[in-house]
């Protein structure tokens, strides 16, 4: 359904060298499937999603590559054509629902506006009925009452549900969820994730789930792309990422998770920090932090290669047990 | 962004022109600003670019010299504003309880009184000398500064780094001086530029109402007022100092707003 | 032995609202509502609760950054509940805090050296040269380099800033550090770095931590004992091993079940999410047990009367505030497959390499 080929998104003010926040990324998502995109802040995962939506803040722009969606190349569409896609066929939800909702308008008014963008003829009574229906769908209790609430009267979890209701009001084919549960309490997070999964089963939409939490990925995703410094480090089915992780960065991420059932001990952690996009190492971008790196890793960037059926990794040293 | 830079550029240019005019007035002014001549109330001519006033003084020279007075009164008044307003605002923003209530009530009292009227009353009482006008303007304008500073302090006070400073055992005086003040300096500087423009405007208003510096000082406000009677003979008599006031006020205002 | 820190029935209530002409508040937010706990020397007490449970207020009460409405606070046996002015200021170096937001908790105008030297300066410790030497000693302790000293906070990543915050807390050699969600704002990989750092420092310096978190996973790796808070009260407290092995409050179980596990095999299990909606806020604490509106086990007595913390039979130090604690079914943690051999092997290799790297440099 969505196929990204060689996407390169750069930021560059006139006269300065361009900085590539996303640098040669290929991804696909199929109908009814969920692609998890995992990485630390600064890995380019949010810029990737904004590239798909064509909502890049200036001076960001797509410098190369194609974003094929339902037979169209989104990267080549005019702004006007893109508005037909955005919010109708692709919808997006963000980490902080409070900032995406207008604090001065009731929930009902904001849902009605979302519905009206694709159905201009709807009457006021019809809009209200459909708004209540939308809230019911995201399991907000007493929707007849809550529809007149203002965002500040709701909890974070309820607001995220409202955002989901608005995003789904036009039955999109693809939902991009950028850290949708990071700001929520764990019990609420579990509820919202369940809700997203059920709604996907109901509608058959594809989901791109952007998160830094592998626990969320394990619960939600069918495929996973691990991103590091603007590139895909490893890409595989969810089971393979957890059971047969190949890239040292994936290993580091897995080892960093505090496990509730494990005996407490030292967490694996990845030392150091993500290099800023204007000071990238010449070879493998993870090499300076990698415990397995050797001289070769610093000479040229490793290509993304097939290492097992359906699993690709960008590492010269994988599988690491073969290192003498 | 570009609009803001344009405003800043325009403001700086205006202020620079006025400042140069004031600084260089003794050398670039063609005539002594206070020297009367036989040529009374002439229109603009090649010798008198802006004509002469009712005593035959060269208007162009007087406008140039007026810049000196305005550039003295405005910044000095802004300084007095800051000297009273900043400490008051810092204290009112940080203190809690009764002290806070008292300070806020004092501030509100001053804010409630209209600036110009208050300035008029005090000026009438103390007399219009340069020092008095500076002090009066400062006394009239400080509550604005105090209110701004108080608001900034109150929002900063709740930030974690101020809480951190408290947790390591900083005294309130140190928190104000080392943690809060450096973070609001820029806004205070911007507000001072705006205070300069307000002070020049209020000083001109006082002058226009007959409470400017005593004659023969080239006070823009007084010049506008005295030119009023001869508008039909030489409109520049009022227009030129009026425009000078407007441009100076605009210049400082633009600088202040775009730095903010 | 006297505990390092002891809180007895600590409470903080905030009046809210009130009309324009009335001095009477409209309501009372009971942010912290009668909390007792102790922290022993060298111990980590984990304090877990969801947003609005009062854990951050409790952190600030503990450090006397805000004043308690009621209750007693003792530090090294001394009653500090009403300590004021200079006496309180002199105590500050003994108890420090690490904040949640690594971006907002450092003064943007100061250099790292100034930030780290300030606690020493404020308490008149050493001269300028000695303070600089202390800064130079603190930086490597938290994994920063000495060339970082003259930079300003905006030049650092979130994880590095949190290290600066930790170094600031360490500067005056405290015995207690209150960590208010120190890793919640960080990426998982950076969280692990900071958790490891805090544990290393504790082992080295004999620190005590009050470690506040919003979920039970991170706390598992740092805490010796864990307390779980709901709406301003502790509902269960126990030695860590015991709490995870047999959680004895329905809320603790709910929190445990909700942690997303990094195990795709569990995704098809029935949902761990609680079916009921959000808890009411601290402005309208329910009658009876404050957890009952969300509790799957609630019965009539739970709606009438509030349970107190009671010791659990056969488990020393394990207390729970639940009328039905004795009737709870045996705790069944979600079934877990052993880690896949390939993953386990590579993770072990990773750990081995990392330890080599650490030992050699």
Q: Give the one of C105, C107, C122 whose C-beta lies nearest to B169's C-beta.
A: C122
pLDDT in tens, B65-119: 999 999 999 999 999 999 999 999 999 999 887 888 899 999 988 888 888 888 8
Beta-carbon separation of C105 and B160 below 8 A:
yes
DSSP annotation of A176 reads E
Domain of B130 in residue numbering reads as 2-27+56-259
In DSSP notation, C137-194 reads: HHHHHTT--GGGTTS-GGGS-HHHHHHHHHHHHHTT--SEEEEESTTTTS-HHHHHHH
pLDDT-derived band at C273, boundaries 50, 70, 90: low
Q: Do chains A and B touch (3 or more CB pairs under 8 A)?
A: no
The answer to whether residue B40 is domain-embedded is: no
Distance CA(B91)–CA(B106), nearest Å, equals 13
pLDDT value at residue B192 = 95
Chain B residues inside the 8 Å CB shell of C101: 160
- Looking at beta carbons, which residues of chain C come within 8 Å of B168? 92-93, 96, 118-119, 122, 168, 171-172
Could you read off the pLDDT of C316-334 as tens digits, one per residue?
Answer: 999 999 999 988 998 887 7
Q: Would you say residue B33 lies in a domain?
A: no
Within a domain: residue C67? Answer: yes
What local confidence, expressed as pLDDT, does residue A258 receive? Answer: 87
Residue A260 vs residues A215, C112, C255: alpha-carbon distances, Å: 11, 35, 11
Q: Is the dihedral of CA A274, A275, A278, A280 positive or negative?
A: negative
Of C195, C215, C353, the CB nearest to A292: C353
pLDDT score at C269:
64
Contact A41 C187 (CB under 8 A): yes
Q: What is the ipTM of this complex?
A: 0.86
CA distance A304 to A226: 12
Q: Could you give the percent of chain C with pLDDT greater than 70?
A: 93
The answer to whether A269 faces chain C, any CB pair under 8 Å, is yes
pLDDT band at C22 (very low <50, low <70, confident <90, very high): low
* C257 within a domain of the structure (yes/no): no
Q: Given 3-state DSSP classes, what are the helix, strand and coil percentages for chain C, each rounded to the nearest 5?
A: 35, 20, 45
End-to-end CA distance of chain B: 13
Neighbouring chains of C at 3+ CB pairs under 8 Å are: A, B
pLDDT band of residue C17 (cuts 50, 70, 90) is low
pLDDT of residue A97: 66
> How far apart (Å, rounded) are the C-alpha atoms in residues A104 and A151?
8
Mean of pLDDT over chain C: 89
Looking at the predicted structure, is the pLDDT value of residue B218 above 70? Answer: yes
Name the residue among A189, A254, A292 with its Cβ closest to that of C262. A254
Contact A5, A26 (CB under 8 A): yes
Phi and psi for B126 in degrees, rounded to 5? -100, -15
Rounded to an integer, the average pLDDT of C296-315 is 91
Could you tell me if C261 lies within 8 Å of chain A, comparing CB atoms? yes
* DSSP state string for B205-245: HHIIIIISSPTTS--HHHHHHHHGGGTTT-THHHHHHHHHH
- Chain B residues 173-202 within an 8 A CB cutoff of chain C: 174, 178-179, 182-183
Pick C97's closest partner by Cβ from B164, B171, B174.
Answer: B164
By DSSP bridging, strand C233-239 and strand C225-230 are antiparallel
For the record, the structure tokens of A307 come out as 């290492």
Q: How confident is the model at residue C313 (pLDDT cuts 50, 70, 90)?
A: confident
Does residue C319 lie within any of the structural domains?
Answer: no
Element (H, E) at B62: helix B59-94
Three-state DSSP class for A294?
Answer: coil
Question: Which of B241, B243, B213, B215 shows the shortest CA–CA distance to B227?
Answer: B241
Kindly list the residues from chain C whose CB atom is less than 8 angstroms away from the CB atom of residue B186.
none
CA dist., res. A288 & res. A228, Å (int):
13
The long-range contacts involving A135-140, CB below 8 angstroms and separated by at least 24 positions, are A135/A107, A135/A111, A135/A161, A135/A162, A135/A165, A137/A165, A137/A168, A137/A199, A138/A162, A138/A164, A138/A165, A138/A168, A138/A195, A138/A199, A139/A191, A139/A195, A140/A165
In a domain, C190, yes or no: yes
Q: Which residue has the higher pLDDT, B231 or B260?
A: B231
According to DSSP, the β-strands at C310-311 and C319-320 are antiparallel
- pLDDT band with cut points at 50, 70 and 90 for residue C21: low
- Tell me what pLDDT residue C279 has: 60
What pLDDT does residue B1 have? 54
Q: Count CB-CB contacts under 10 A for residue C13.
A: 17
Among candidates B168, B182, B183 on the partner chain, residue whose Cβ is nearest the Cβ of C118: B168
- CATH number (domain holding residue C214): 3.40.50.300
Q: Which pLDDT belongs to residue B65?
A: 92
Give the CA count within 13 Å in the CB-facing half-sphere of C278: 26
Domain count, chain C: 1
Mean pLDDT of C353-360: 81
> In angstroms, rounded to a whole number, what is the distance separating the alpha carbons of residues B203 and B198?
8
**CB neighbours of C358 closer than 8 A, spacing ≥ 6?**
none
Distance CA B31, CA B12 (A): 28
Integer angstrom CA distances of residue C218 from A55, A265, C41, C196, C251: 35, 11, 21, 11, 17
Q: Which residue has the tokens 């010798």?
A: B47
* C96, C109, C120: best to mutate for the B interface, most B CBs within 10 A: C109
CATH number at residue B12: 1.10.3720.10
Residue closest to A238 by CA, chosen among A214, A213, A268, A205: A214
Q: Which residues of C touch A42 (CB under 8 A)?
A: 157
Look at residue C276 and tell me whether its pLDDT is greater than 70.
no
- Measured in angstroms, the CA of C336 and the nearest CA of chain A are apart by 8
Least confident residue range of B149-158, B175-184, C331-340: C331-340
Q: Which chains touch A (3 or more CB pairs under 8 A)?
A: C
| Token pair in block for residue C142 | 């938290």
> Concatenated DSSP letters for B154-193?
HHHHTSHHHHHHHHTT--HHHIIIIIIHHHHHHHHHHHHH
User: CB of A214 within 8 A of CB of A253?
Assistant: yes
Asked if A188 and A156 touch (Cβ cutoff 8 Å), the reply is: yes
Please identify which residue in the block is written with the tokens 């909502």: A55
Spell out which residues of chain A touch residue C154, defining contact as CB-CB under 8 Å: none
- Residue B108 CA to residue C75 CA, distance in Å, equals 43
Q: Which of residues 136-195 of C touch A (CB under 8 A)?
A: 157-160, 187-193, 195
Domain locations in chain A? 234-324
Tens-digit pLDDT string for chain A (324 aa): 899 999 999 987 766 778 888 999 999 999 999 999 998 888 888 899 999 999 888 888 899 999 999 888 999 999 889 988 887 899 999 887 667 788 888 988 988 888 887 777 788 888 899 899 889 888 888 888 889 988 888 888 888 889 999 888 888 999 999 998 888 888 888 888 989 999 999 999 999 999 988 989 999 999 999 999 999 999 999 999 999 999 999 999 998 888 887 766 778 888 888 888 788 888 999 999 999 999 889 999 999 999 999 999 999 988 888 875
- State the best of B97, B152, B160, B180 to mutate against chain C, taking most chain C CBs within 10 Å: B160
For residues C314 and C325, the answer to whether their CB atoms sit within 8 Å is no
Q: Is the dihedral of CA A185, A191, A197, A200 positive or negative?
A: negative
The total number of structural domains that make up chain B = 1
Task: Determine, for residues C189 and A215 on separate chains, whether the beta-carbon distance falls below 8 Å.
Answer: no
Backbone angles phi, psi at A236, to 5 degrees: -165, 175
Query: From the list C51, C273, C277, which residue is nearest A190 (CB)?
Result: C273
The parent domain of residue C180 ranges over: 5-223
The alpha carbon of residue C240 is apart from the nearest alpha carbon of chain B, in Å, by 29
Confidence of residue C258 (pLDDT cuts 50, 70, 90): confident
* pLDDT confidence tier of residue C24, bands split at 50, 70 and 90: low
Q: In 3D, which of A160, A171, A108 has the Cα closest to residue A138? A: A160
C290 domain-assigned? no
A98 vs B248, more confident: B248
pLDDT computed for residue B45 by the predictor: 81
Query: What would the pLDDT profile of A247-270 be if each residue is shown by its tens digit?
Result: 999 999 998 888 887 766 778 888
Give the pLDDT score at A30.
93
What percent of chain C shows pLDDT beyond 90? Answer: 65
C175-230 per-position pLDDT tens digit: 999 999 999 888 888 899 999 999 999 999 999 999 999 889 899 999 999 999 99
Query: Is B97 among the domain residues?
Result: yes
Average the pLDDT over B178-188 and give the result. Answer: 93
């Amino acid at each position: 359904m969505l196929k990204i080929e060689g996407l390169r998104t750069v930021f560059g003010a006139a006269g300065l060298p361009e900085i590539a926040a996303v640098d040669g990324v290929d991804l696909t998502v199929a109908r009814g499937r969920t692609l998890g995109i995992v990485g630390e802040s600064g890995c380019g995962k949010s810029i990737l999603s904004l590239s798909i939506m064509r909502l890049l803040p200036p001076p960001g722009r797509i410098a190369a590559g194609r974003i094929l969606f339902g037979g169209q190349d989104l990267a080549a569409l005019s702004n006007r054509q893109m508005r037909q896609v955005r919010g109708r066929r692709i919808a997006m939800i963000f980490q902080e629902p409070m900032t995406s909702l207008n604090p001065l308008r009731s929930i009902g008014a904001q849902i009605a506006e979302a519905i009206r963008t694709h159905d201009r003829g709807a009457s006021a009574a019809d809009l209200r009925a459909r708004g209540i229906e939308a809230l019911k769908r995201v399991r907000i209790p007493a929707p007849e009452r809550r529809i007149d609430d203002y965002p500040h009267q709701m909890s974070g979890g309820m607001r995220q549900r409202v955002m989901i209701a608005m995003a789904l009001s036009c039955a999109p084919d693809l939902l991009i969820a950028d850290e949708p549960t990071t700001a929520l309490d764990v019990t609420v997070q579990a509820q919202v994730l369940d809700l997203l999964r059920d709604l996907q089963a109901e509608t058959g939409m594809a989901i791109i789930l952007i998160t830094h939490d592998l626990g969320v990925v394990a619960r939600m995703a069918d495929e996973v792309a691990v991103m590091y410094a603007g590139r895909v480090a490893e890409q595989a089915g969810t089971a393979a990422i957890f059971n047969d992780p190949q890239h040292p960065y994936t290993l580091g991420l897995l080892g960093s998770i505090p496990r509730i059932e494990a005996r407490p001990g030292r967490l694996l952690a990845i030392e150091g920090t993500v290099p800023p996009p204007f000071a990238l190492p010449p070879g493998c971008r993870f090499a300076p932090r990698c415990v397995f790196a050797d001289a070769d890793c610093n000479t040229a960037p490793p290509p993304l290669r097939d290492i097992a059926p359906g699993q690709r990794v960008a590492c010269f040293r994988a599988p690491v047990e073969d290192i003498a | 962004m570009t609009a803001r830079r344009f405003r800043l550029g325009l403001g700086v240019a205006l202020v620079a022109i006025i400042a140069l005019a004031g600084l260089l007035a003794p050398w670039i002014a063609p005539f002594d600003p206070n020297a009367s001549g036989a040529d009374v109330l002439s229109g603009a001519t090649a010798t008198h670019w802006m004509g002469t006033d009712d005593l035959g003084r060269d208007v162009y020279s007087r406008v140039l010299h007026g810049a000196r007075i305005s550039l003295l009164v405005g910044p000095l008044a802004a300084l007095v504003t800051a000297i009273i307003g900043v400490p008051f605002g810092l204290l009112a923003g940080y203190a809690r309880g009764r002290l806070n209530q008292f300070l806020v009530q004092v501030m509100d009292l001053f804010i409630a009184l209209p600036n110009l009227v208050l300035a008029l009353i005090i000026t009438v009482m103390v007399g219009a000398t340069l020092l008095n006008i500076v002090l009066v303007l400062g006394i009239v304008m400080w509550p604005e500064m105090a209110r701004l500073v108080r608001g900034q302090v109150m929002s900063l006070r709740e930030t974690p780094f101020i809480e951190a400073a408290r947790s390591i055992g900083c005294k309130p005086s140190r928190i104000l001086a080392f943690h809060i003040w450096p973070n609001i300096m820029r806004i205070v500087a911007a507000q001072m530029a705006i205070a300069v423009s307000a002070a020049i405007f209020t000083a001109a208003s006082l002058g226009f109402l007959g409470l400017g510096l005593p004659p023969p000082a080239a006070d823009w406000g007084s010049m506008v007022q005295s030119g009023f009677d001869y508008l039909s003979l030489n409109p520049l008599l009022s227009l030129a100092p009026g425009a000078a006031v407007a441009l100076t006020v605009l210049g400082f205002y633009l600088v202040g707003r775009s730095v903010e | 032995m006297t505990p390092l820190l002891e809180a007895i029935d600590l409470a903080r209530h905030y009046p809210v609202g009130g009309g324009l002409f009335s001095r009477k508040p409209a309501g009372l937010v009971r942010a912290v509502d009668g909390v007792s706990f102790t922290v022993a020397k060298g111990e980590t007490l984990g304090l877990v609760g969801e947003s609005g449970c009062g854990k951050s207020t409790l952190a600030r009460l503990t450090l006397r950054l805000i004043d308690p409405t009621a209750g007693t606070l003792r530090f090294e046996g001394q009653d500090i509940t009403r300590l004021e002015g200079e006496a309180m200021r002199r105590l500050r170096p003994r108890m420090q805090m690490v904040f949640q937001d690594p971006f907002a908790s450092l003064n943007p105008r100061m250099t790292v050296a100034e930030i780290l030297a300030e606690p020493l300066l404020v308490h008149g410790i050493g001269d300028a040269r000695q303070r600089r030497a202390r800064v130079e000693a603190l930086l490597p302790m938290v994994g920063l380099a000495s060339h970082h000293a003259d930079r300003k906070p905006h030049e650092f990543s979130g994880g590095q800033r949190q290290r600066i915050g930790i170094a600031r807390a360490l500067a005056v050699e405290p015995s207690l550090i209150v960590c208010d969600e120190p890793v919640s704002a960080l990426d998982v990989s950076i969280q692990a770095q900071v958790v490891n750092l805090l544990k290393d420092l504790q082992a080295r310096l004999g620190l005590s931590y009050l470690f506040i978190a919003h979920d039970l996973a991170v706390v598992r790796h740092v805490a010796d004992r864990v307390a779980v808070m709901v709406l301003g009260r502790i509902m269960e407290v126990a030695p860590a091993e015991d709490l995870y092995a047999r959680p004895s409050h329905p809320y603790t179980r709910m929190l445990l079940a909700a942690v997303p596990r990094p195990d795709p095999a569990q995704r098809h299990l029935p949902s761990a999410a609680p079916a009921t909606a959000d808890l009411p806020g601290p402005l309208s604490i329910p009658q009876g047990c404050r957890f009952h509106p969300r509790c799957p086990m609630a019965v009539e007595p739970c709606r009438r009367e509030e349970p107190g913390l009671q010791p659990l039979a056969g488990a020393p130090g394990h207390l729970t505030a639940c009328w039905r604690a004795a009737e709870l079914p045996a705790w069944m943690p979600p079934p877990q497959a052993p880690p896949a051999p390939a993953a386990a092997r590579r993770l072990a290799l990773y750990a081995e390499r990392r330890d080599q790297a650490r030992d050699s440099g």
